[in-house]
Structure 1
């Protein structure tokens, strides 16, 4: 077995163990994982887009926003995290307007901040949060795995050749179908499926996951990089591993917020609203 493959397998096992262990534990353990992912995503984003080189002070502002959001998540002040993130995005956008620097700054603040907040909000600390997080994982992983295999087996027209030449429409559709089935399977292992809300939610998250994958490919292609970093031996960077999960988690956050604004669901439990309980 080649050394690179061994390294990839070993690091993959460690990543899976850490992720699933923190997911099972919930609470502070998963909050810590969420903010770690968010901070590493901002680090990779700033590195790829060369924010430190282009705008050192603006990048420092971006780091400050991520640290504050991380602190709010870890201290379980989740209701304050979204307003603080919104303020940080506005402040960084004003900085860009005044200084004439890069719009990749507010985009990175939003991308990384929403990563920490959405992941922590989904998992929470109770049993429903565990099921909700496993539901999101199942949709994202099912989509990603089967999009690859169906795409290779069936082939056909390219999905977005200018961004990611290897992706096909057959893979995207096959991945979406399998992602929905995987998510519904997780839900039905714990609850009865009484209507079409969960399959529809799973489909939306699957589509968001694939958009997230394409988005990261666009960013890397824009700056001429292959991997977001070399933080994970054999796998590249954190963004390379969680691009689909980020967009799916943010989509889940938006679904819950829309339902709450429309008066549906329990406002005190994110997971119950997402799961339609």
Structure 2
């Protein structure tokens, strides 16, 4: 399994890196649509793992909404005079609220599942709140690139991804080596408190790298933001685990050998990106 994960990562990371830094935002937005359609099809299995019609219906709904966002808010209109387009800002704000609600659902699981586990409508709404703010946040950060600093937005996106990858990798290896106390056994029995702490500690490598290349940053704020985004990414991971547990599926898909589906690979990012974008707007804009 570990060998498969490494092989998949070796071709996936350059592809992601090339898209983030090589594609103009207007093309990136449409390329990203394909990725999120796959993730939407996988979320359709969470809604109803047996009914293909339900899965495709949700996929089409997400596709229509994302296409509408791409048309209504072109890449060059996402930011104007340092202000985010109100539609995008509203979507990201809803995403931030959703992740607070999702966190409460996770910590109170399985009791919290009583009101939604049999409702296709609610699970569909949760899927929209998970995927669409992530899509919008990713585009918003990417679009921060300017003529003076063409890779600025891409760098922010990549840094968030590095924080998530550091958290996931640190948690995996620390959990394997030292994990004893279960983090949330009702949601994800394999995750441990030691793993989470190891993941948070690993993110300090990213902080050190940022301070080395950009020493003018405020260290305390950078550490706080990094840890908060890392914790948000853990909530994203646990949230998907919760929904998959109720749906009785192990992986959201099989498209990425060793990693499962696209949704399994971006579950942490679905929370980390909206949370980071809101923090960025609050402290750096």
Question: Above 0.5 in TM-score?
Answer: yes
Does residue 130 (structure 1) correspond to residue 154 (structure 2)? The answer is yes
3-state SS of 2:191 partner:
strand
Shift of 1:109: 1.6
CA RMSD in angstroms comes to: 3.0
Q: CA-to-partner distance for each residue in 1:153-210, whole Å, 9 max, x for gaps? A: 112210000111011101111111211x132133123211434111110000000111
Q: CA-to-partner distance for each residue in 1:195-236, whole Å, 9 max, x for gaps? A: 411111000000011111111111111101111112224432
For the 8 Å contact 1:208–1:248, the answer to whether it is kept is yes
Q: Which has the higher contact order (CA 8 A, sep 6+)?
A: 2
Does residue 185 (structure 1) correspond to residue 212 (structure 2)? The answer is no
- 2: CA distance, partners of 1:57 / 1:134: 32
3-state SS of 1:167 partner:
strand
Shift of 1:255: 1.4
Measured at CA, do residues 11 and 153 of structure 1 come closer, stay the same or move farther in structure 2, by a change above 3 Å?
Answer: closer
Measured at CA, do residues 191 and 16 of structure 1 come closer, stay the same or move farther in structure 2, by a change above 3 Å?
Answer: same
TM-score normalized with structure 1 length: 0.77
Give the 5 Å matches for 1:7-156.
Answer: 9-28=6-25, 29-50=27-48, 53=53, 60-72=60-72, 75-78=75-78, 79=85, 81-82=87-88, 85=91, 102-124=121-143, 125=145, 126-156=150-180
1:272 maps to none
Q: 2:275 aligns with which of 251, 273, 277?
A: 251
User: How many residues in Structure 1 have an aligned counterpart in Structure 2?
Assistant: 246
3-state SS of 1:236 partner:
coil
- 2: CA distance, partners of 1:145 / 1:56: 33
TM-score normalized with structure 2 length: 0.75
Structure 2 residue ranges without an equivalent (≥5)? 79-84, 96-118
For the 8 Å contact 2:40–2:58, the answer to whether it is kept is no
- 2: CA distance, partners of 1:64 / 1:187: 38
Q: 2:193 aligns with which of 169, 182, 188?
A: 169
Shift of 1:265: 3.6
Query: 76-85 vs 52-61, which deviates more?
Result: 52-61
Structure 1 residue ranges without an equivalent (≥5)? 90-99, 267-277
